[in-house]
Amino acid sequence: MEMKVETGKNIQVNDVSPSGIKIIWQEIKKDKLAMGSLIILAAILLFVYGASFFMDAKEIAKVDFLSIYLEPSSDYWLGTDYGGRDVFGQLIIGTRNSFTISLFITLFTAIIGLSLGLLAGYFGGATDNVIMRVIDFVIALPQLMFIIVVVTIVPIFNVYVFILIMTMFLWTGKARLIRSKALSERELDYIHASQTLGTPHWKIILFQLLPNVSSLIIVNFILNLAGNIGLESSLTFLGFGLPESTPSLGTLISYARNPDVLENKWWIWVPASLMILVLMLSINFVGQALKRAADARQRRG
């Protein structure tokens, strides 16, 4: 009896280890578009985080009425905005803020979605029912409007509150996805075997179920990250996203709501728009490549 349990464990460890990051890395290396995207993404992020380290955010945010709406020049690489602020500096700081904040939103929604999804899928029955009814409700809300209303009525509003509000409304899709995967996974033999052997539920969930939904989580995390960058900048564009003290890419684009800026002062909004497009597309290409890879593996067996 003891021996059997031991060998069971050994097989399991051997099964789990290769299906992790290593396979994903191999899949990316095969896909030229995804590999190129990954390199571009890494280059942008390295540059942005590196450069923002040497930049003085206060200096960039300082209003200078002598240099309003200057065109790009050697002094101001991307010109200045209505307050005479350097657009290039704002672009760097904005990219950093947008990416960091979207990363945190994705991380928190992943944690909530993962825990609730695994619980609902693994236990099924009443647990599943309660969690699913909550998800069904939150998912059917007009989220953009609710986020805007909540942003307006909270008494204190800063970056942390913004991340919290976004997380509150965005965890549901992930939870539903992971729940459906966990639901089918728990019917498989390896889970039944562990249950028969008397392995505690938390151990099965953490060490058996979790590794088996990991590819789904990673793919979903990456695709969501791209989506959240778009959502954050859309909200900031509308004026209900990041507070003014924390400029994001959406802040620069929001100047284009003024028709004069949109028509005649391209240097203010075009670079930030391109930055969002490049970020979102490259993250998406990496994610789509992983998604295809994960699908193909499932089909093959």
Partner 1 sequence: MWKFILRRLLVMIPQLFLLSIIVFMMAKAMPGDALSGQEINPRANPAELDRIREELGLNDPWYQQYIRWASNAVQGDFGVSYTHKTPVMDVIEDRLWNTVFLALVTLIFTYMLAIPLGILSGRYNDTWVDKTVTGYSYLGFGTPIFIFALIMLFVFGFALDWFPSGGSVDSKVDEGTFAYVVSKINHLILPALSTALIATTSTIQYLRNEIIDNKIKDFVRTARSKGVPESKVYSRHILRNSFLPIAAFLGYEITGLIGGAVIIETIFSYPGLGQLFLSSVSLRDFSVVTAIVMMTGFATLLGTLLSDIILSAVDPRIRIE
Q: How far lies 225's CA from each of 101, 115, 129, 216, 221, in Å? A: 10, 19, 28, 14, 6
Residue 152 touches partner 1, criterion: CB under 8 A: yes
The residue within the footprint of partner 1, chosen from 136, 192, 206, 296 (CB under 8 A), is 136
Residue 156 touches partner 1, criterion: CB under 8 A: no
CA–CA distance, 291 with 141 (Å, rounded to integer):
28
The residue within the footprint of partner 1, chosen from 8, 36, 200, 239 (CB under 8 A), is 239
CA neighbor of 111 nearest in space, from 207, 4, 21, 221: 221
CA–CA distance, 65 with 83 (Å, rounded to integer):
6
Residue 39 touches partner 1, criterion: CB under 8 A: no
Q: What is the 3-state secondary structure (H, E, C) of 230-274?
A: HHHHHHHHHCCCCCCCCCCHHHHHHHHHCHHHHHHCHHHHHHHHH
Residue 157 touches partner 1, criterion: CB under 8 A: no
* Between 112 and 281, CB nearer to partner 1: 281
Residue 200 C-beta: closest distance to partner 1, Å: 32
CA neighbor of 280 nearest in space, from 217, 232, 208: 232
Matching residue, tokens 């051997």: 14
Residue 276 touches partner 1, criterion: CB under 8 A: yes
Span near partner 1 by CB under 8 A; candidates 41-49, 120-128, 137-145, 168-176: 137-145
Residue 121 C-beta: closest distance to partner 1, Å: 18
Sign of CA dihedral 138, 140, 141, 142: positive
Residue 144 touches partner 1, criterion: CB under 8 A: yes
Q: Which x/- pattern, by CB under 8 A, does the window 88-127 give for partner 1?
A: ----------------------------------------
Q: Cβ(91)–Cβ(252) under 8 Å?
A: yes
Q: How far lies 162's CA from each of 156, 169, 205, 221, 235, in Å? A: 10, 11, 31, 19, 11
Residue 52 C-beta: closest distance to partner 1, Å: 22
The total of other beta-carbon atoms located within 10 Å of residue 91's CB is 23
Report residue 123 as tokens.
């236990």
Residue 180 touches partner 1, criterion: CB under 8 A: no
* Between 22 and 257, CB nearer to partner 1: 257
For every residue of 173-184, DSSP letters joined together read HHHHHHHHHHHH
Residue 262 C-beta: closest distance to partner 1, Å: 6
CA–CA distance, 203 with 210 (Å, rounded to integer):
10
Residue 277 touches partner 1, criterion: CB under 8 A: yes
Residue 141 touches partner 1, criterion: CB under 8 A: yes
* Between 104 and 269, CB nearer to partner 1: 269
Residue 237 touches partner 1, criterion: CB under 8 A: yes
Torsion of CA 202, 204, 210, 212, to 10 degrees: -170
Span near partner 1 by CB under 8 A; candidates 45-53, 106-114, 194-202, 279-287: 279-287
The residue within the footprint of partner 1, chosen from 4, 145, 184, 202 (CB under 8 A), is 145
Residue 197 C-beta: closest distance to partner 1, Å: 33
> Which residues are near partner 1 by CB under 8 A?
136-137, 140-146, 148-150, 152-153, 226, 230-231, 233-234, 237-240, 253, 256-257, 259, 262-263, 269, 273, 276-277, 280-281, 283-285, 288
